[in-house]
Chain A
């Protein structure tokens, strides 16, 4: 290890800084869309940042990727066609490829360089791209989905924060297009920001408000991700009708024998039970007759 005292820091708020000791920076470049960096660290292994914001580390990425993929898959193990927006690191693809029943996965990533960089520096996640059922499209997600109708059983929105190129993936027009692109039993899951720090919480509430305005079923679930702001992270589950708990097919999913390190059926159930302050923050935007306790 180097004698230099090198640290990567991310400001989780203007007054809170999260730092990881770095062995060295493996890459730094500006793509057409964002600044991409890869670091190597003693505690978290290699990690990727976009515009200075940490996206994933080798050490804890499994939590995020398992939660965003297996949660909807356990509600509808019949899923055949999947659309993934963002996810240039390949982690979502890796988890999806564990399902033999899936026929096709379209991944729409706006920045080709993210995929190339991950293939070079983060093979443990980028290996997901090797599956022949995976089709990569380097396009604007909003544009891709605009003309799609009734095609996907699952849409996974693996976006960056709404402040960067991921902004469009938090808009009402995007969620509206997603709903149209889904089949009758379709499910949309999305990266839903964090409830803790005020700016993140605002993004969370805004996203929820818009999703509730578009989908008849809109629930939020949580996970603990050490390297994300506050460590407490949320995902959205929205559908035309399938409910994440009432329609959970735990036994069918277990029968698939899929190996996971974070996700399991008990955790699935528990993850939809949210802390009171989070529920309250979300409930402002929900219609009268639903509330989290009616799970």
Chain B
């Protein structure tokens, strides 16, 4: 276990909702509206935290535990993610497997909470969420395996710092395949178009949003904040794998990575504005493509 820097965690905690704001703002601008202020997600969280939570009489303690486990597992996963030139708070051999399973734990808790409400609608969402994440997980783990094999390191912080220009020049195909696979996994895991539409409510095709319909007040704030953190986590890994344009010192690198994150958020907004959601039956095919891409990256 190597002690690292607090900076990646602090940056993630502070700026994850801003990233959501940038995505929403981009979509508004493309649609020809002015859109909400960039800080709106923060105000939404603030508002939710000051409300009371309403619990249905059919739910049990599992329902109240769900959001807490969700948020805590994502916070723990974030301590393992490096950012910019700074290593993660902690790193040890095989920590990317822990990251994958912490996210699985968080998802498991929200699924249980959704099932606990006894609503058939939420049960449907839970079933879809589990189906698609079961397909996204092999792609994620194979991508990590490809990165580990290429850089010959088995911990996220060293892996991402080892990706340099010379590494890209040496094995560009592997990295680009991994990048493409991770991008698809990000879209699927974060309930983004073309897999799921984060803005729809009460639609029969939605996946993630349907599971959290019964949460309110601080519980819902935890879910929202957790989703923002999850998006940040995936984007940070993708920015870490992307071609490194930076050379001077960890601070300059962090600044460039932050700019990269914002560009990435704008790009996500553009993708969401220009694409339609896939039919539910086609989603497994998209995830299968991600698995094939990452498997090919491992084999290279």
Question: Do chains A and B stick together as partners?
Answer: no
Binding site for A on B (CB under 8 A): none
Binding site for B on A (CB under 8 A): none
